[in-house]
């Protein structure tokens, strides 16, 4: 399995509530059989001399394990109900796209897995207890481990109560999405990647003049969001068959059957088998992910901000937190040269032309919706200009100055139309002046 497909599989497993609990349940089954086997063969040592080991009879062992198993079933149902309520609150307060972040929460998965594992362990050990005189067997060490799991489950329950009340707080949700954005930036925009602008322009001459007319178009046969493009597979196919590939889509887009995925040159080199292999490099799913889609965590933060400043909620402070987190991510991006869309094989032949993600597009994704909805909110508008100033202070490239200035001007014009108080407009103008000075001074 290649890296792209393995990454997609791991992301699907990590976003499910069954994978970790299933592993822990299997571990409980193995542990139960191992403990009972140790008790049967007497490999546990002189356990009767250990004061902390259970030393009661079969009736007591049955009562203890039955009590633990019954309580774990009840606690599991309660924990599951609390989790469902948390998901409903998240969907209503922060948007349905944030549900995936809650599903990925490892803490909840481990809590449910602990309760289920303890329940299964106690059941399996319970069936091995015999009280008949001719076949008396009490797995004392196994029962002791069951009691230890019960005590552990109590600690996990306390953690779960705290965790469940924490993960639905706006600050925690915003911080979690911001962390996803930072990880996506480090993964998709490393410090040294691609060619410089001048070098890319020099190498564009390698594209055939009749590429658009003579290239064959490969179209999608499925429907869904493009989650991952296996660039290694595309590069390998292009090198093996001497192809030049131009991608027509990028991760995050919704793909319909018949949409153009890529163009391949020359046409005569592409048969049905190669076309199918090229399609397999495009992995679709039911929802967007941040694996190769840098816009997805940005859209999540923007969605939280827009819900916060809606008339029904009217919570500008949550929107300001989202803007702060967006400024952190965009400041990080302003310090990096975006990768070149031109990809070369080991012999320095142009093989793949990707759909680039630009700094201008990411700025538009982050600031345009909030600016449009917050024209009449002086606090949010002011924070947008503060964010522009922060990004300008971190900017390393002169090419990004025009983008920052464009957004600062739009924010200023919007405030003049949306704010009726003269004092608020003057405050915005002062902050706009500081932003422009920061833009001109850096880059």
Query: Beta strand pairing status for 260-265 and 244-247?
Result: antiparallel
Choose among 236, 260, 233, 237: nearest CA to 248.
260
Per-residue tokens: 283:
């992995």
Helix (H, G, I), strand (E, B) or coil at 13: helix
Choose among 131, 145, 345: nearest CA to 235.
345
Sign of the C-alpha dihedral computed for residues 24, 29, 35 and 41 taken in this order: negative
Extents of the domains making up the chain: 3-168, 197-285, 294-339+356-441
pLDDT value for 61:
87
Per DSSP, helices labelled H in 309-419 are 316-333, 359-373, 378-394, 401-418
pLDDT value for 357:
87
CA distances from 163 to 84, 88, 94, 125 (A): 14, 16, 18, 31
Instruction: Please give the distance of CA 233 from its chain centroid, rounded to a whole number.
Output: 23
**For every one of its 443 residues, what pLDDT tens digit does the chain have, with 9 covering 90 and above?**
556 666 667 777 777 788 899 999 999 999 999 998 888 886 555 555 555 677 778 888 889 999 999 999 999 888 888 888 877 777 777 877 777 777 788 888 899 999 999 999 999 999 888 876 657 788 888 999 999 999 999 999 999 988 888 888 888 889 989 998 998 888 888 654 334 444 444 455 567 777 877 888 999 999 999 988 888 888 888 888 888 889 999 898 999 999 999 999 888 888 888 889 999 889 898 888 888 889 999 999 999 999 999 888 888 999 999 999 999 999 999 988 888 888 888 888 888 888 888 899 999 999 999 999 998 899 999 999 999 999 999 998 888 999 999 999 999 999 999 888 899 899 999 999 999 999 998 76
pLDDT value for 49:
54
Per-residue tokens: 301:
């933060």
What whole-number distance in Å separates Cα of residue 282 and Cα of residue 126?
A: 50
- DSSP character at residue 97: G
Q: Give me the percent of the chain exceeding a pLDDT of 70.
A: 91
CB atoms within 10 A of CB 368: 13
Query: Beta strand pairing status for 342-344 and 260-265?
Result: unpaired
Per-residue tokens: 203:
């190498």
Instruction: Please give the distance of CA 384 from its chain centroid, rounded to a whole number.
Output: 25
- DSSP character at residue 258: T
Choose among 188, 181, 178: nearest CA to 336.
188
Following CA atoms 238, 190, 298, 285 in sequence, which dihedral angle do they give, to the nearest 10 degrees?
Answer: 30
Following CA atoms 8, 300, 96, 180 in sequence, which dihedral angle do they give, to the nearest 10 degrees?
Answer: 40
pLDDT value for 2:
57
Check: CB of residue 328 under 8 Å from CB of residue 174.
Answer: no
What whole-number distance in Å separates Cα of residue 427 and Cα of residue 171?
A: 27
Identify the burial level of 337 via C-beta atoms within 10 angstroms of its C-beta, where 0-12 means exposed, 13-18 middle and 19 or more buried.
middle
| Domain 197-285 class in CATH | alpha beta
pLDDT value for 194:
38
E strand or H helix at 282, and its extent?
strand 282-285
């Amino acid at each position: 399995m290649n890296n792209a497909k393995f990454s997609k599989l791991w992301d699907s497993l990590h976003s499910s509530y069954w994978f970790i609990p299933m592993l822990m349940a299997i571990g409980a089954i193995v542990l139960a059989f191992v403990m009972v086997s140790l008790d049967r063969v007497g490999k546990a040592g002189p356990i009767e001399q250990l004061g902390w080991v259970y030393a009661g009879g079969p009736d007591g062992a049955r009562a203890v394990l039955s009590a633990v198993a019954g309580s774990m079933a009840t606690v599991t149902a309660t924990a599951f109900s609390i989790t469902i309520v948390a998901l409903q609150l998240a969907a209503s307060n922060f948007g349905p796209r944030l549900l995936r972040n809650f599903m990925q929460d490892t803490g909840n998965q481990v809590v449910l897995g602990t309760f289920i594992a303890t329940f299964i362990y106690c059941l399996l050990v319970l069936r091995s207890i015999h009280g008949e005189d001719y076949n008396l067997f009490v797995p004392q060490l196994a029962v002791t481990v069951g009691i230890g799991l019960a005590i552990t489950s109590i600690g996990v329950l306390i953690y779960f109560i705290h965790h469940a009340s924490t993960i639905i707080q706006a600050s925690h949700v915003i911080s979690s999405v911001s962390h996803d954005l930072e990880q996506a930036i480090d993964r998709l925009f490393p410090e040294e990647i691609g060619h410089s602008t001048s070098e890319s322009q020099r190498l564009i001459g390698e594209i055939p003049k009749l590429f658009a007319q003579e290239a064959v178009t490969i179209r999608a046969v499925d429907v869904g969001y493009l989650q991952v493009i296996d660039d290694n597979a595309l590069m390998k196919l292009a090198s093996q068959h001497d192809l030049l590939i131009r991608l027509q889509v990028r991760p995050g887009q919704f793909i319909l059957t018949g949409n153009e995925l890529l163009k391949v040159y020359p046409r005569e080199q592409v048969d049905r088998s190669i076309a199918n292999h090229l399609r397999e490099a495009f992995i679709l799913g039911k929802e967007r992910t941040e694996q190769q889609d840098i816009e997805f965590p940005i859209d999540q933060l923007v969605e939280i901000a827009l819900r916060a400043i809606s008339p029904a909620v009217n919570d500008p402070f949550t929107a300001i937190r989202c803007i702060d987190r967006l400024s952190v991510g965009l400041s990080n991006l302003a310090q990096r040269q975006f990768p070149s869309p031109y990809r070369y094989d080991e012999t320095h032949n142009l093989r793949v032309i990707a759909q680039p993600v630009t700094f201008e597009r990411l700025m538009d994704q982050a600031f345009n919706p909030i600016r449009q909805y917050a024209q009449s909110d002086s606090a949010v508008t002011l924070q947008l200009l503060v964010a522009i100033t922060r990004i300008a202070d971190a900017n390393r490239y002169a090419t990004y100055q025009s983008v920052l200035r464009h957004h600062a001007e739009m924010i200023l014009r919007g405030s003049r139309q949306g704010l009726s108080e003269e004092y608020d407009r003057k405050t915005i103008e002062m902050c706009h002046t500081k932003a422009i000075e920061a833009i001109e001074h850096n880059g």
